[in-house]
């Protein structure tokens, strides 16, 4: 069984457990009809929330694990049932003719309202011909609609797998500009790069010049690229009175091979010990940052 069929198999089980038999019958019929005409697909896609409602999907830990195994990093946490049903509907579109497949889904993007866009961007990891959607994903990064932007940025493996470095860097920068949960960007560490580190360093300086705070998680993308240009910033937050900034500096220094960064970390035995033991990590820091926001 290929990846798409396995994902469909898991999703169908979840959907059936979250819908009434009558609504499930309606949805199953629409999935059969989507390839009869564009009108059938468009009407079904738009109508789904009126039939399914918008309650949050319930699923088991085993189902979540199976879904992640079938499609690595694909998660449906906090999805509403209409969002999941729309993605499942898209998985029934005929993929035989690449151009027709692209045109069909692209037309949905062009006509979509806010919640429809959320479902469409959420579907990117499981659509066929992944290279076709790079431009559309890059367009999503430019969205000023919060929930649409989160569908692109948060818990979505597609961007890290398919975007160019320039587009990826734009995504990360947009996440910081709009205060999105940075720790939910899949591939953040793997796609870290020197150009992004430079952009974030400039951004941090602009924030400081305006007497504004800097998200401590910014340094997660800088640590591997500490050099003589940005090291003064690392020193600044290492000696900060803000605990989260100090911890971010320690983690960044730990990620770095820059000798001065290693020496700086050695100046604080407590932080060094916490990093080495795993007590202090970027994941742990992210949780503290989220608690601070709350």
pLDDT, tens digit, for every residue of 141-185?
999 999 999 999 999 999 999 999 999 999 999 999 999 999 999
Task: Looking at the structure, tell me whether residues 196 and 148 fall in a common domain.
Answer: no
155: left (phi over 0), alpha (psi -120 to 50) or beta: left
pLDDT score of 36: 79
pLDDT score of 62: 96
Any domain includes 60: yes
Task: Looking at the structure, tell me whether residues 209 and 122 fall in a common domain.
Answer: no
pTM of the model: 0.94
- Three-state DSSP at 80 gives strand
Task: Looking at the structure, tell me whether residues 162 and 197 fall in a common domain.
Answer: no
Please state, in angstroms and rounded to a whole number, the distance separating the CA atoms of residues 116 and 120: 6
Q: For helices 243-255 and 282-293, what crossing angle results, to 10°? A: 160
Any domain includes 182: no
pLDDT score of 281: 96
| Alpha helices in 19-94, H assignment, sequence order | 21-33, 38-52, 61-70, 81-90
pLDDT score of 248: 97
Instruction: For residue 65, count other CB atoms closer than 10 A to its CB.
Output: 11
CA atoms within 13 A on the CB side of 281: 7
Task: Looking at the structure, tell me whether residues 205 and 136 fall in a common domain.
Answer: no
Query: Which residue range is the domain that position 277 belongs to?
Result: 192-294
Taking a C-beta distance cutoff of 8 angstroms, is the pair 95, 128 a contact? Answer: yes
Task: Looking at the structure, tell me whether residues 129 and 65 fall in a common domain.
Answer: yes
pLDDT score of 3: 77
pLDDT score of 293: 59
Task: Looking at the structure, tell me whether residues 160 and 205 fall in a common domain.
Answer: no
Give the residues of the chain that fall short of pLDDT 70. 1, 293-294
Instruction: For residue 259, count other CB atoms closer than 10 A to its CB.
Output: 9
Nearest to 108 by CA among 80, 85, 136: 136
**38 CB contacts (<8 Å, ≥6 apart)?**
104, 107
Taking a C-beta distance cutoff of 8 angstroms, is the pair 132, 162 a contact? Answer: no
Stated as kind and residue range, the H or E segment containing 212 is none
pLDDT score of 77: 95
- Three-state DSSP at 143 gives coil
pLDDT score of 294: 47
Total number of domains constituting the chain: 2
pLDDT score of 102: 96
């Amino acid at each position: 069984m290929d990846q798409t069929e396995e994902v469909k198999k898991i999703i169908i089980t979840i959907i059936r457990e979250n819908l009434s038999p009558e609504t499930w019958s309606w949805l199953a019929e629409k999935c059969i009809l989507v390839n009869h005409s564009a009108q059938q697909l468009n009407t079904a896609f738009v109508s789904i929330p009126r039939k399914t409602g918008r309650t949050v999907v319930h699923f088991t830990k085993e189902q979540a694990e199976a879904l992640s195994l079938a499609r690595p990093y694909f998660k449906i946490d906090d999805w509403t049932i209409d969002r999941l049903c729309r993605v499942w509907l898209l998985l029934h579109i005929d993929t035989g003719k690449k151009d027709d497949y692209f045109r069909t889904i692209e037309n949905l993007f062009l006509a979509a309202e806010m919640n429809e866009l959320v479902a469409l961007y959420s579907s990117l990891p499981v659509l066929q011909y992944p290279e076709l959607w790079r431009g559309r994903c890059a367009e999503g990064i430019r969205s000023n609609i919060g929930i649409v932007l989160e569908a692109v940025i948060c818990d979505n493996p597609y961007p890290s797998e398919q975007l160019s470095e320039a587009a990826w860097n734009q995504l990360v920068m947009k996440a910081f500009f709009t205060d999105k949960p940075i720790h939910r960007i899949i591939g953040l560490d793997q796609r870290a790069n020197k150009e992004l580190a430079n952009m974030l360093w400039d951004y941090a300086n602009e924030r400081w010049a305006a007497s504004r705070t800097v998200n401590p998680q910014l340094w997660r993308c800088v640590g591997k690229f500490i050099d003589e240009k940005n090291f003064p910033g690392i020193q600044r937050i290492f000696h900060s009175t803000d605990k989260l900034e100090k911890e971010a500096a320690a983690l960044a220094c730990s990620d770095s091979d820059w000798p001065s960064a290693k020496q700086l970390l050695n100046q604080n035995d407590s932080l060094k010990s916490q990093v080495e033991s795993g007590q202090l990590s970027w994941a742990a820091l992210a949780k503290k940052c989220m608690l601070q926001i709350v």
